[in-house]
Amino acid sequence: MDKYKVRFVALGGIVGVTKNMYVYEIYENEVLKDILIIDCGIGFPHEKELGVDFVIPDITYLKDKIDKIRAVVLTHGHEDHISALPFHYLELGKPPVYTSKLTAAFIENKFKEFNQPVNVTEVKYGEVYQFGDFKLNFLPVTHSIPDTMHVVIKTPVGNLYHGTDFKMDLTPPFGPPPDFYGITKAGNEGILCLFSDSLGSEREGLTLSEAIVGQVFEDEMRKTKGKFIMTTFSSNISRIRQCVDAAIKFNRKIVFLGRSMRENTRLSAEIGYLPIPNALTAKEEDVRRLPPNKVCLIVAGSQGQYESALSKLANNKNKNVKIKPGDKVIFSSDPIPGNENEVYNVIEELSLQGAEVIYSDIHDELHASGHGNQDDLKFLIRFTKPRYFIPIGGTLRHQLQYQKLVGELGYPKENVFTLEIGETVWFTRNNAYKGDELETKTIYVDAYGVGDVGNMVLRDRKTLSSEGIVVALIMVDSNGRLLARPNIVSRGFVFEKAEEELFEKAARLVEKVLKPRKEHIIDLGIIKKDVEGYLEKFFYQEKGRKPLIVVDVIQI
Amino acid sequence: MDKYKVRFVALGGIVGVTKNMYVYEIYENEVLKDILIIDCGIGFPHEKELGVDFVIPDITYLKDKIDKIRAVVLTHGHEDHISALPFHYLELGKPPVYTSKLTAAFIENKFKEFNQPVNVTEVKYGEVYQFGDFKLNFLPVTHSIPDTMHVVIKTPVGNLYHGTDFKMDLTPPFGPPPDFYGITKAGNEGILCLFSDSLGSEREGLTLSEAIVGQVFEDEMRKTKGKFIMTTFSSNISRIRQCVDAAIKFNRKIVFLGRSMRENTRLSAEIGYLPIPNALTAKEEDVRRLPPNKVCLIVAGSQGQYESALSKLANNKNKNVKIKPGDKVIFSSDPIPGNENEVYNVIEELSLQGAEVIYSDIHDELHASGHGNQDDLKFLIRFTKPRYFIPIGGTLRHQLQYQKLVGELGYPKENVFTLEIGETVWFTRNNAYKGDELETKTIYVDAYGVGDVGNMVLRDRKTLSSEGIVVALIMVDSNGRLLARPNIVSRGFVFEKAEEELFEKAARLVEKVLKPRKEHIIDLGIIKKDVEGYLEKFFYQEKGRKPLIVVDVIQI
């Protein structure tokens, strides 16, 4: 029998792509000793019709093991890698969080919104971090957000390489290229298993460098006689920085529109990642009086989200910024599958207002994916020379394509494990095999109203800071029947300890609301909406305040 | 004053691309201490009208310094990197030669043709070789011939990285991928100057893997009802091996046509690089009786060379192998600029004979360049992180494009030295600057007749082994006037020491032949042809034998 074993569990990040959360466990003499968690992100579900904003990983499995959790590592600052942590942090026993500079700024800000303290350490590259029997070192890589890191995880059975979202960007506009020496050195020391981003496994060649897009911004800005308007994901700080650099070159004042955009750029500026000369910063109101050819707007809402800053521009609902002929709008992002209609609607509306709109269908180099294509993925394999492979960050389709790639490099296909959420893989010194599957549920989080999907937390920051939040956790069976007393907690709303009765009353109210529906009601969206409505009314009556109400329904 | 300095001299390999020969020198207190030579290849001149077969580097500069030459390193087995060595070996003082396995087999065979002994050591990867104050280690990389190596040259002023012809092939059909760890490790230890292949610097993206071509061979062979005929460079052992593998799969007997093809494949088979089952080896004569769909011919002459094996097939001059409808001819090579007419002539003739001919204009994946495109070159730069750059292996156009690439990666362009042959660069611990230019001449080598350009030596092996060789060295001024007594040497022809008078007589004959032309005759081709004719007649009269006559004319 092996003295040491290591087990890997994906609590997210596969099948549905987003909602990344990975658990690594060390067992000594068959007894669980140490747990390492990598990432804890939200997911974007397909079930839009349910009115669901996002999903979060199910951590039920970890609840009786929190004394073994040594650390949470966050690989980069994207929502689908960090934004579920505030929801789970207390239940995970407030583990120490290790991450890079920009990610630290983002996650600390998210915790601030929740009025929760968090213990975040900014890691240093080149140093070794010991968490129980895990020894980690961090390697800077390139992605569509600065400060993305890969993680080498040394365990008693061998070294694992956690290759989160990346591309091999040889000309990153900001920050260093990938740490090729560190990566190949890890490979030279021997990698038992490579966990690799697989989302780009269907696309040939190398992914375009972010630098390509910067050139396009310059070229297009030069030709634009009116306002220059660029939209992208608000977390894509490199992209935003390139647009800012072009604006500086052409002496255009820079205005950020949209809460997520303003917040992320503010955080990035604070840590020195987005330097903008004072003379070129401007506010929304300033746009009314500035000559159009002296304005560069960087706007949230590239996915055509309802009520987003861009959507408001398109629908002539922004009182300070009006689209005029001569203006140019650049979509520096591709529509996420499922969002096409919303995006094309916004494009049409903008065009009707007189803007020239440039988007990926008519221009190739407006957007570079953050995920490595086939050649990027092959390079990582050749660098790390692992024995086993687990594709992460992709659906089954991407995993199978990744398996094919691995085969093309001469490895046996059976050394690639394709996993579903909850599936486990055991590692011993000489072997790897699938273990039992853990049961996991889908946890839907439904925000107060529908809007800027995934950026709910930022959008509601204002409500949170003035009114607080109430979260109701509801467990129902497949028929929508309540399985237990609803659990209601709050933050920043009232002093909970003194208000036990209030929450007891609220829980009874929820039970009453759900009772008549004991059969045939399985529309979670309706359950959520109803419970929200009742709770909102209830707390307003009781306390005269309107906290943000979040209803989580777990269906078992 | 710096105690140590290092000087780099390109005696070839730039401007005209081929004829690679690079000299590295260590100076201690301004006194030359150690010389290292990398590569010594032949070149393919544009002056075809002169009847010139090839050119070789001018080593005049080294002649009074041969006691400082510590070693010759050959990076890979291509003609333009190794084939001039037998011409210069004695004059260089018979230095020890270090190279990889396949290259060792090739160069030893060339010396055998010259009836010369040579001291070749096969290097081991991972070991350090000390030559004077040079410390070298060798790194396996990928190119269009197996066993290509890059060289890390440690000197008292810093480490230099000699990045000869390469591409980053992630799926080489034979041999390992590039030693990414070794390369990045060298980068991590600090590289003062990167000497990089630059021939592919105009092409975007990554170069195609050799593996792509193997798939094409299989697909095309499956569809071919008649004979399958593949032509490529006879040194491209990986390519040939892929065709052999496809033939094995489809149970076709393999026949090699052309001297260079037979010779290179024999040498490769001897060292285990080209395993062919006995049951599938066949000879030219066997083709007459074999069913066409059981034959795979691998044929020299992909550049349409006159009198090459392929050209003979096209012109129906091979008595054993006749082109028939149903046959397929695959050109797995691109025409070298200047050879287009010859190649298209052969394609037309083959088509007229009834073959289906597939070549790069009508199929993209028939040929993968051995040279890295822009992304391959950028990877090497990111891996080695050098301070200075010297593009080699390319013309000025490629060097300038390489300089642009380096600039795109954020380096100052003045850190890139673009050189002409004979130009020198000095390195100190903290600096690099251009030095004086050495005078070099073009040395034309004119073989006995015109033929399979660049493969003359192999083609004439038979003559050499039975008749020997006579080499006449003639120095003329720019008007074609003889500047000194012609120098005539021989090998494998007569016992020279006993025949002083014979060679004295031959020298006087050459003087007589050239005398009437003391003015206005600057056509070196005519001089060569005439001298050859007279010497051939002379030696036949005197000795009744027809040695290979080689006339070198150095024009000063």
Assigned domain for A17 exists: yes
Interface probe for B, chosen from A142, A184, A185, A203 (most Cβ of B below 10 Å), is: A184
CA-CA distance, A24 to A35, in Å (whole number)? Answer: 6
Domain that holds residue B513: 460-555
Of B171, B183, B382, the CB nearest to A409: B171
User: What are the chain B neighbours of A211 within 8 Å (beta carbons)?
Assistant: 408
A418 and A480 co-located in one domain: no
Higher per-residue confidence, B454 vs A67:
A67
User: What are the chain B neighbours of A383 within 8 Å (beta carbons)?
Assistant: 180-181
User: What are the chain A neighbours of B206 within 8 Å (beta carbons)?
Assistant: 205-206, 375
Q: Measured at the alpha carbon of residue B101, what is the angle toward residues B100 and B103, in degrees to the nearest 5?
A: 70
Give the distance between the most distant pair of CA atoms in chain B. Answer: 76
Higher per-residue confidence, A47 vs B314:
B314
A259 and A173 co-located in one domain: no
B223 and B355 co-located in one domain: yes
Assigned domain for A446 exists: no
pLDDT at A517: 54
Tell me, what amino acid is at B321? V
Assigned domain for A112 exists: yes
Choose the final residue of a domain: B419, B434, B449. B434
pLDDT at A497: 65
Least confident of A163-167, A392-396, A521-525: A521-525
Nearest CA in chain A to B207: A205
Interface probe for B, chosen from A142, A171, A179, A181 (most Cβ of B below 10 Å), is: A181
The CATH number given to whatever domain includes residue B524 is 3.10.20.580
Output the CA torsion B394→B398→B404→B406 (10° steps). Answer: -20
Of B178, B181, B205, the CB nearest to A206: B205
Of B168, B170, B378, the CB nearest to A409: B170
Nearest CA in chain A to B188: A181
User: What are the chain A neighbours of B211 within 8 Å (beta carbons)?
Assistant: 408
Interface probe for A, chosen from B184, B379, B384, B411 (most Cβ of A below 10 Å), is: B184
Catalytic residue among A133, A371, A446, A460: A371
CA-CA distance, B425 to B410, in Å (whole number)? Answer: 22
The CATH number given to whatever domain includes residue B90 is 3.60.15.10
Report how many Cβ contacts below 8 Å link chain A to chain B. 60
Question: Is there a contact between B408 and A171 if contact means CB atoms under 8 Å apart?
Answer: yes
Asked if residues B71 and B98 have their Cβ atoms less than 8 Å apart, the reply is: yes
pLDDT at B497: 65
pLDDT at B55: 78
Interface of B with A (CB under 8 A): 168, 170-171, 177-178, 180-181, 183-185, 187-188, 205-206, 211, 375, 378-379, 381-383, 408-410
For A271, the token pair is 């840590």
A31 and A69 co-located in one domain: yes
pLDDT at A461: 40
For the segment A227-236, the average pLDDT, to the nearest whole number, is: 92
Closest to A200 measured CA to CA, from A393, A385, A406, A412:
A393
Q: Measured at the alpha carbon of residue B380, what is the angle toward residues B374 and B381, in degrees to the nearest 5?
A: 90
Residues 6+ apart with CB under 8 A from B504: none
Of A177, A381, A410, the CB nearest to B382: A177
- To the nearest whole Å, the CA of A169 is away from the closest chain B CA by 10
Please give chain B's pLDDT, 556 residues, in tens: 789 999 999 987 665 557 899 999 999 999 999 999 999 998 865 544 334 467 788 898 999 999 999 999 999 999 889 999 998 999 999 999 999 999 999 999 999 988 889 999 999 999 999 999 999 999 999 998 999 999 999 999 999 999 999 999 999 988 999 999 999 999 999 999 999 999 999 999 999 998 888 889 999 999 999 999 999 988 888 899 999 999 999 999 999 999 989 999 999 999 999 999 989 999 999 999 999 999 999 999 988 887 789 999 999 999 999 999 999 999 998 777 667 788 888 998 999 889 999 987 777 777 788 999 999 999 999 999 999 999 998 888 889 999 999 999 999 999 999 998 889 999 999 899 999 988 887 676 654 322 233 334 333 444 555 566 777 888 777 777 777 788 787 776 766 666 788 888 888 888 887 776 555 555 677 778 788 888 888 888 887 777 777 777 777 6
**Main-chain dihedrals φ then ψ at residue A328, nearest 5 degrees:** -125, 135
For A309-352, write each residue's pLDDT tens digit: 999 999 999 999 999 999 999 999 877 766 778 888 899 899 98
A199 and A54 co-located in one domain: yes
B87 and B125 co-located in one domain: yes
Nearest CA in chain A to B178: A382
Burial class, B10, CB count within 10 angstroms (exposed 0-12 / middle 13-18 / buried 19+): buried
CA B84 to chain centre: 8
CA-CA distance, B483 to B477, in Å (whole number)? Answer: 7
Q: Summarize chain A as % helix, strand, coil (round to 5).
A: 35, 25, 40
pLDDT at A15: 59
Question: Is there a contact between B382 and A211 if contact means CB atoms under 8 Å apart?
Answer: no
Question: Is there a contact between A181 and B171 if contact means CB atoms under 8 Å apart?
Answer: no
Nearest CA in chain B to A184: B181
Of A178, A181, A205, the CB nearest to B188: A181
Assigned domain for A444 exists: no
Nearest CA in chain A to B211: A408
Percent of chain A with pLDDT over 90: 57
CA A381 to chain centre: 25
User: What are the chain A neighbours of B409 within 8 Å (beta carbons)?
Assistant: 170-171
A331 DSSP 8-state letter: E
Question: Is there a contact between B181 and A171 if contact means CB atoms under 8 Å apart?
Answer: no
B193 and B279 co-located in one domain: no
Question: Is there a contact between A184 and B185 if contact means CB atoms under 8 Å apart?
Answer: yes
Choose the final residue of a domain: B365, B388, B404. B365
**pLDDT exceeds cutoff 80 at A125:** yes
Burial class, B481, CB count within 10 angstroms (exposed 0-12 / middle 13-18 / buried 19+): middle
**pLDDT exceeds cutoff 90 at A106:** yes
For A328, the token pair is 């140019």
Higher per-residue confidence, A17 vs A497:
A497
Assigned domain for A272 exists: yes
A92 and A116 co-located in one domain: yes
Read out DSSP for B278-324? GGGB--GGGGGTS-GGGEEEEES-TT--TTSHHHHHHTT--SS----
Tell me what ipTM this predicted complex has. Answer: 0.73
For the segment A159-178, the average pLDDT, to the nearest whole number, is: 95
Assigned domain for B39 exists: yes
The CATH number given to whatever domain includes residue B312 is 3.40.50.10710
Nearest CA in chain B to A188: B181
Nearest CA in chain A to B177: A382
User: What are the chain A neighbours of B205 within 8 Å (beta carbons)?
Assistant: 205-206
User: What are the chain B neighbours of A373 within 8 Å (beta carbons)?
Assistant: none
Nearest CA in chain B to A215: B408
B285 and B352 co-located in one domain: yes
- To the nearest whole Å, the CA of B182 is away from the closest chain A CA by 8
Question: Is there a contact between B180 and A211 if contact means CB atoms under 8 Å apart?
Answer: no
Residues 6+ apart with CB under 8 A from A77: A102, A103, A105, A106, A107, A145, A147, A235
For A47, the token pair is 């079930």
Could you tell me the CA-to-CA distances from B303 to A440, A441, B331 in Å, in that order? 64, 65, 9
A232 and A201 co-located in one domain: no
- To the nearest whole Å, the CA of A179 is away from the closest chain B CA by 9
For A456-497, write each residue's pLDDT tens digit: 433 344 455 556 677 788 877 777 777 778 878 777 676 666
Question: Is there a contact between B185 and A181 if contact means CB atoms under 8 Å apart?
Answer: yes
CA-CA distance, A113 to B39, in Å (whole number)? Answer: 65
Assigned domain for B453 exists: no
**Look-up: residue for tokens 């049951």?**
B279
pLDDT at A333: 84
Least confident of A27-41, A402-416, B435-449: B435-449
pLDDT at B466: 57
Provide the annotated active-site residues of B.
Answer: 197, 371
Count of domains for chain B? 3
Question: Is there a contact between B187 and A177 if contact means CB atoms under 8 Å apart?
Answer: no
A244 and A389 co-located in one domain: no
Catalytic residue among A39, A58, A147, A197: A197
B414 and B478 co-located in one domain: no
CA-CA distance, A115 to A494, in Å (whole number)? Answer: 13
CA-CA distance, B431 to A227, in Å (whole number)? Answer: 48
pTM of the model as a whole:
0.77
Question: Is there a contact between B171 and A379 if contact means CB atoms under 8 Å apart?
Answer: no
Assigned domain for A410 exists: yes
User: What are the chain B neighbours of A170 within 8 Å (beta carbons)?
Assistant: 375, 378-379, 381-382, 409
For the segment A140-152, the average pLDDT, to the nearest whole number, is: 96
User: What are the chain B neighbours of A181 within 8 Å (beta carbons)?
Assistant: 184-185, 187-188, 383
**Look-up: residue for tokens 């039970």?**
A511
